[in-house]
Amino acid sequence: MLVTGMNLAQGKVSDTIRDKDSISACVVRLLLFPVIAWAVTLLLPGLDPLVAGVALIIMAMPAPADSTVLGEQYGGCTQAGARIVFLSSLLCILTIPLISLLL
């Protein structure tokens, strides 16, 4: 989280919120993947509802903070990673309850 915070401190919050790549990554991460996982769990016969619910909620969680650290270690774009971590953590307040309604 320290590395993510340092990368976020270099930019403006308004730039982070307006970044189309970060927004699209968050939509895919927080909405599209959980809906696809929900559809797949409906197709699997005999799947325990508890297992399906846990998988669905895990898919709706925000991007992990270590993605920024991995970008730092291997020369990737740490700014984009930090923006996605920040936005997905912010937006998961709305999307986790929405995805929970599918249960």
- Asked whether residue 103 carries a pLDDT value surpassing 90, the answer given is no
Instruction: Give the per-residue pLDDT at 26.
Output: 92
Q: What average pLDDT does range 26-42 have in this prediction?
A: 92
Q: What average pLDDT does range 40-46 have in this prediction?
A: 90
Is residue 5 within 8 Å of 79, Cβ to Cβ? no
Smallest CA-to-CA distance from 60 within 103, 97, 16 is with 97
Q: Distance between CA atoms of 80 and 5, rounded to whole angstroms?
A: 12
- Give how many domains the chain has, as a whole number: 1
Instruction: Give the per-residue pLDDT at 5.
Output: 76
Quote the tokens at residue 17: 């919120």
Q: What average pLDDT does range 26-38 have in this prediction?
A: 92
Its domain, for residue 84, covers 2-100
For 53-89, how does the pLDDT look when each residue is reduced to its tens digit (9 = 90+)?
998 999 999 988 888 888 888 888 888 888 888 899 9
